[in-house]
Amino acid sequence: MRTLADEIGTAIEVDLAVIPPHQRRAYAGLDQYRRPVEVRGVQELAKGIAESFGAFAIFDVETVLRSPAIAPFVTQTLYAIPLELRRAACDRDRLKAEGARKEMARIISAALLSRYHFEPLKHVGASCHPNWEEAFEQQFGAGRGRGSSG
């Protein structure tokens, strides 16, 4: 049976797998010819990863956050991933690149799960429609601490 940690790790793996090659290289500090350049696009990548958790209530102690509120933490985590690992995710060898992406996903999910508590919202689909607030109220009630993040 899949655990919540498995689901989060898999979501991040998918996010990393579907990044357009130019964006993956920018995050790894490589140009189109795989020469070292300045790292770019970390905030955009972090925002995309954070958005994939739109169907979750994310708790930071007693404060509930929406997915965009965790983007700064995801950004810090992405910067902490070793450059060699990021570059390995761009390797022409598919198995090596896939292994690097899996390791990156493991690092990111471990960091997220050590900092936040995720609760899937029962009435919100993966695309996180506008009824997030309603779904949260139905599942958790108005008694939980709530943050203005969102």
User: For 92-112, how does the pLDDT look when each residue is reduced to its tens digit (9 = 90+)?
Assistant: 999 999 999 999 999 999 999
Q: Could you give the number of structural domains in the chain?
A: 1
Asked whether residue 59 is assigned to any structural domain, the reply reads: yes
In the chain, count of helices (H) and strands (E)? 7, 3
Domain hosting residue 17, numbered range: 4-140
Asked whether residue 150 is assigned to any structural domain, the reply reads: no
Contacts of 50 (CB under 8 A, 6+ apart): 67, 68, 69, 70, 71, 74
pLDDT in tens, 57-90: 899 988 888 889 999 999 999 999 999 999 999 9
The DSSP bridge partners found for residue 117 are 59
Instruction: Give the pLDDT band (50/70/90) at residue 27.
Output: very high
Q: Are 129 and 55 in contact (CB under 8 A)?
A: no
- Poorest-pLDDT segment among 53-57, 83-87, 132-136: 132-136
pLDDT in tens, 109-132: 999 999 999 988 875 454 444 566
pLDDT of residue 87: 97
Asked whether residue 16 is assigned to any structural domain, the reply reads: yes
Asked whether residue 117 is assigned to any structural domain, the reply reads: yes
Asked whether residue 145 is assigned to any structural domain, the reply reads: no
Asked whether residue 68 is assigned to any structural domain, the reply reads: yes
Stated as kind and residue range, the H or E segment containing 71 is: helix 71-80
